[in-house]
Structure 1
Amino acid sequence: MSSASLAAGLLRRAACSSEVYALSQRCAPVSLARFRASAAAASPPSRTTSRRFLASQSPVAPSEICPDENLKRLIGNEIDRVFLPAEASAKLIELPEDFPFEIIDNPGDQAIVLKRELAGERVKAIIYTNFDTDEDVNNDDSHAENHIDSFKPVIQMVVTFERPEGLVLEFVCNFKDKELAIENMRMLNRSSVDAKYAYEGPQFSVLKESIRKSLHGYLEVRGIKDSLHDWLHEYMMCKDEREYVVWLKKMRDFLQK
């Protein structure tokens, strides 16, 4: 990995860690059996603490510390930086009003699943967070600060509607400025042996505007709508921070053996 790519990744992570703590302050317990017990909230980190890992990137002479020990030190610093915000984000997230879905959130997975049944139709939405960005991080400090403050990950989802006879309607969506956008869609037939060769339909963008609007309405009445954005963003940021801490601890344990 190049130094520019590493710096970009650290900036993204610092931006997300800072936002996760702010989001976690609005978390509240939900009395549903499928949710895990809440963890105790931690005190907010200072601005200096939230940049601790970035500040630790000062050059170290090769003669002063070996690469393995330097990596252990950096991992330890990063765990210290994100552990308290992640503890706070482990609190349960208040559900939106009239939330119709069951949430499947398996530790270790980067995605969550929303499921429900409606009038004999099985609805499943796989939600994940895209932290990739095409923007390069400039070495200028003021530019880096602006990048941290403005960076927002993209919430993406693959939504499927399955009928008992085996027909499946699939949408690939994301949120753009809190508005749900359909990237593409296709019709599948689970029972067809030659499904991979079947005609799945045209690109969503070439459909008539009236059909595109009606398909948005189809999603909305089944609970896949714009108003999910804020809750999903909050939930996925908190999940990412928890998973990141677990990953760091596994890395630390590996290096110590």
Structure 2
Amino acid sequence: MAISSALRRAPWAAAARGLLAARSGWRVHPRQPHPHRAECSALLSSLSAPQLSAVADAQLLRVINYEISCAQQDCRKRDWAKEFGEEFPFEIQDKEGTNRITLTRRDQKERIEVEVFLPSPADSVEQNGEQEDQVEDANRQGHASNAAANQYYIPLVVKIHKGAAWLEISCRSYPDELAIDSLAFGPRDESVDSSDVEAKISNLPEEFQQALYSYLKSRAISSDVTNFLHAYMINKECHEYLAWLRKLKGLMKR
């Protein structure tokens, strides 16, 4: 089953690309060096323990307030349902204070769930010694060919329920690119050892790998959807950071 042309031309896709492009325009707030650092050090060294504690608390609170003001400038309130209408192919479940969202949809006899996580730095994958495998896979597959050059990616796990069985595909979504990491499947019985049904995609034949990308696209995991997810998760990341800062400020003011 192929994605309809209406989905490929969905109006929310263009809006998501605009939001994603705006990420590069996020403000950078450089810190100014203190003009009297030596005098401050001398002052701190002359204070008693209780005074030093009060000064340190006040300094930390000033930094927190500064970060809050910066985050407030960067974060945007979006009415996603209104902006993207009913054409978006998934329902979004987003709980504040978490590092993920869940997308759900039903397609004929299947129930599709996609867990999408906050952005991760691309170099974290490189530190695990997987960079060479990624580049080799990308060159061979024609997908995510610039993955190593991107600064971040969004982890996502696509789980397709087929009655009492499931199929799970773990991916990394780079800007405009998708890389599949692994494939697993099995019955609903949780006692089944996942190692018996899981395979790393790089170990599969090239034709098999290409078929998996087409399979995901037929389930609406398209570049338009992943572009939207990047915009959504970047926005969520900003708001989660702002909420975290406010909670920390509340603690410091006690």
What TM-score, normalized to structure 2? 0.67
2:19 corresponds to? 23
Letter in 1 for 2:179: A
Change (3 A) 1:197 1:249: closer
1:99 corresponds to? 88
1:68 corresponds to? 57
1:118 corresponds to? 107
SS at match of 2:104: strand
In 1, the alpha carbon distance for the partners of 2:120 and 2:107 equals 32
Deviations 1:169-228 (A, max 9, x none): 101101235121101111122225x31266114321111111111111111111112222
SS at match of 1:210: helix
Change (3 A) 1:62 1:97: farther
Q: Report how far residue 106 of structure 1 moved.
A: 1.1
2:216 corresponds to? 219
In 2, the alpha carbon distance for the partners of 1:195 and 1:186 equals 11
Deviations 1:120-169 (A, max 9, x none): 2110001112333539xxxxxxxxxxxxxx974311201100111x2111
1:189 corresponds to? 187
Letter in 1 for 2:99: Q
User: Is the 1:24–1:91 Cα contact (8 Å) retained in structure 2?
Assistant: no
SS at match of 2:123: coil
Change (3 A) 1:254 1:236: same
1:55 corresponds to? 31
What TM-score, normalized to structure 1? 0.67
In 2, the alpha carbon distance for the partners of 1:152 and 1:96 equals 30
User: Is the 2:166–2:187 Cα contact (8 Å) retained in structure 1?
Assistant: yes
| Count of matched residue pairs | 196
User: Is the 2:165–2:186 Cα contact (8 Å) retained in structure 1?
Assistant: yes
Q: Report how far residue 245 of structure 1 moved.
A: 0.9
Write out the 4+ residue segments of structure 1 that deviate beyond 4 Å after TM superposition.
56-60
SS at match of 1:154: strand
Answering whether residue 158 of structure 2 is matched by residue 163 of structure 1, we say: no
Answering whether residue 205 of structure 2 is matched by residue 208 of structure 1, we say: yes
Q: Which has the larger radius of gyration?
A: 2
Change (3 A) 1:240 1:172: same
In 2, the alpha carbon distance for the partners of 1:98 and 1:85 equals 28
Structure 2 gaps, min length 5: 1-17, 45-51, 125-148
Instruction: Indicate the structure with greater helix content.
Output: 2
In 1, the alpha carbon distance for the partners of 2:200 and 2:20 equals 39
Structure 1 gaps, min length 5: 1-21, 27-44, 136-149
- The sequence identity of aligned pairs, in percent, is 26
